[in-house]
Amino acid sequence: MAVVAERAFTSRSTLQRIEAGDASVGIGIYASVLQALGLLDGLAHIADIGNDSVGQALSSAELPKRVVLTRSPRSSRND
């Protein structure tokens, strides 16, 4: 734990807070720890909407159920 803390430029107590799931730890600290553990590439997958089924469902729920297209007065069928 001391080696990871040193490589992540943080304290052992902060690592303990991360392990406990403390939400007050900044995302930058998490990134530093992931880098120290060689897992930083996995951070991109966290923000990928393709991996967020709940977020996709919420986004789809906000879409309109019906779309009405209107023609402009200048439109004609001979165009």
Q: Give 40's contacts (C-beta < 8 A, 6+ positions apart).
A: 31, 34
Q: pTM for the full model?
A: 0.57
Confidence band (pLDDT; 50, 70, 90) for 6?
very high
Q: What is the pLDDT of residues 8-23, one digit of tens each?
A: 999 999 999 999 999 9
pLDDT at 2: 92
Q: Is the pLDDT of residue 24 over 90?
A: yes
**Torsion angle defined by CA atoms of residues 18, 42, 1 and 27, in that order, rounded to the nearest 10 degrees:** -40
Q: Domain residues of the chain, as ranges?
A: 1-42
Query: Any idea how long the chain is?
Result: 79
Q: What is the pLDDT of residues 28-78, one digit of tens each?
A: 999 999 999 999 888 877 778 888 888 888 888 888 878 788 887 775 555
